[in-house]
């Protein structure tokens, strides 16, 4: 993988996006990171916000469902809907 996490986060096709204005990782929240079975999400410690570190999503949804502020949005591909 040659992509840096920052590049992956900025791609418009990233399956999981984080609304940084809602994310409270800077207050200590790590819920989405903790619930992802593939460890795809991480906290950007310089920003204090969560981001998608690895683009291999299973669309299992707990990251979106369990985020206390509704900051996580999982874009499910049409083929899987
Ligand atoms: S669960 Fe929500 S508020 Fe918490 S770190 Fe993840 S995106 Fe941010
Ligand atoms: S939908 Fe599942 S695999 Fe994808 S980021 Fe969320 S918890 Fe991880």
If one compares 3 and 63, the residue with the highest pLDDT of the two is 63
Q: Quote the longest CA-to-CA distance of the chain.
A: 37
Question: CATH number of the domain that 47 lies in?
Answer: 3.30.70.20
Contacts of 25 (CB under 8 A, 6+ apart): 43, 44, 48, 49, 50
73 contacts 64 by C-beta, under 8 angstroms: yes
> Mind listing the pLDDT tens digit for each residue in 49-81?
999 999 999 999 999 999 999 999 999 887 776
Q: Could you identify the atom of ligand 1 that is nearest to the CA of residue 49? A: 8
Query: Average pLDDT in the 38-50 region?
Result: 97
Identify the domain containing residue 24 by its residue range: 5-76
pLDDT at 14: 83
> Is residue 81 situated within a structural domain?
no
pLDDT at 4: 53
Q: Could you identify the atom of ligand 1 that is nearest to the CA of residue 63? A: 1
The length of the chain, given as a count of residues: 81
Q: How many folded domains does the chain comprise?
A: 1
CA atoms within 13 A on the CB side of 5: 13
> Mind listing the pLDDT tens digit for each residue in 5-34?
555 544 456 899 999 999 999 999 999 999
């Amino acid at each position: 993988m040659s992509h840096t996490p920052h590049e992956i986060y900025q791609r418009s096709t990233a399956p999981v996006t984080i609304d940084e204005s809602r994310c409270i990782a800077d207050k200590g929240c790590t819920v989405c990171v903790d619930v992802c079975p593939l460890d795809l999400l991480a906290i950007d410690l310089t920003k204090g916000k969560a981001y998608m570190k690895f683009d291999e999503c299973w669309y299992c949804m707990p990251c979106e469902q369990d985020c206390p502020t509704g900051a996580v949005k999982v874009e499910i591909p049409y083929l899987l809907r």
